[in-house]
């Protein structure tokens, strides 16, 4: 039986909550002096990689499930132009022999315009949301690749003109740094909330 696209949003949130449990546990150990700063930075870098990988995976699930009728659209504005009998049939057509990637998000939007009327729901994000996804990608890439280009992209897309102490201008320190003090929230936690909110918007608009 097909499930609503909104169900995928809840499943994505569940995945993020499991990562959040590890984040909170490591933060607690760090505050008790049972974990070094380097340890907690590396843990959060790994958690963020997992979160972005999950974001891409759920974008793919939504896209292909809508095209194979495994998911029902939340909105009547979501109108697939074509249906496929299975993922195995859909994927070669959707990807056209290219690498199976969904980020930068413009790739998803461009792909969606071929398979959905007006690209809906993948084109409903505003530029602010797309910019946030670009920031997710910049953080992911500097963690995964550590190349000069990735570092420059991180500095321009994420750090920008923000005044930060030197240790927070590096990705590990940036993630565990304070986003706000009341209630206390790290930048990692804020980024995960933004990621969940963006995916929910795609699923339920």
Cα dihedral 61, 64, 65, 69, rounded to 10, equals: 180
Whole-number Å distance between alpha carbons of 202 and 12: 12
- Rounded average pLDDT per 10-residue block, the chain, 205 residues: 90 96 95 95 98 97 97 95 96 85 95 97 97 97 94 95 94 96 94 98 94
Whole-number Å distance between alpha carbons of 106 and 99: 15
Whole-number Å distance between alpha carbons of 71 and 49: 26
Spatial CB neighbours of 195, under 8 Å, sequence gap ≥ 6: 16, 51, 52, 55, 132, 136
* Whether this model's pTM surpasses 0.75: yes
Predicted pLDDT at 99: 74
Predicted pLDDT at 98: 76
Predicted pLDDT at 141: 97
Predicted pLDDT at 97: 77
Predicted pLDDT at 33: 95
Predicted pLDDT at 3: 86
């Amino acid at each position: 039986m097909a499930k609503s696209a909104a169900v995928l949003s809840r499943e994505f949130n569940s995945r993020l909550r499991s990562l959040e449990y590890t984040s909170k546990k490591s933060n607690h150990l760090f505050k008790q002096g049972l974990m070094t700063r380097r340890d907690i930075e590396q843990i959060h870098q790994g958690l963020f990689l997992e979160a972005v990988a999950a974001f891409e995976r759920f974008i793919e699930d939504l896209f292909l499930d809508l095209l194979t009728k495994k998911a029902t659209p939340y909105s009547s504005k979501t109108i697939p132009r074509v249906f496929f009998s299975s993922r195995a049939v859909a994927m070669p057509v959707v990807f056209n022999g290219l690498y199976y990637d969904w980020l930068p998000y413009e790739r998803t939007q461009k792909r969606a315009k071929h398979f959905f009327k007006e690209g809906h729901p993948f084109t409903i994000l505003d530029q602010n949301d797309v910019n946030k996804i670009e920031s997710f990608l910049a953080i992911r890439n500097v963690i995964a690749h550590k190349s000069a280009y990735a570092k420059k992209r991180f500095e321009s897309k994420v750090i920008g003109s923000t005044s930060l102490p030197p240790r927070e201008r590096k990705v590990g320190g940036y993630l565990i740094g304070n986003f706000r003090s009341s209630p206390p929230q790290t930048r990692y936690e804020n980024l995960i909330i933004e990621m969940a909110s963006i995916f929910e918007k795609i699923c339920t608009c």
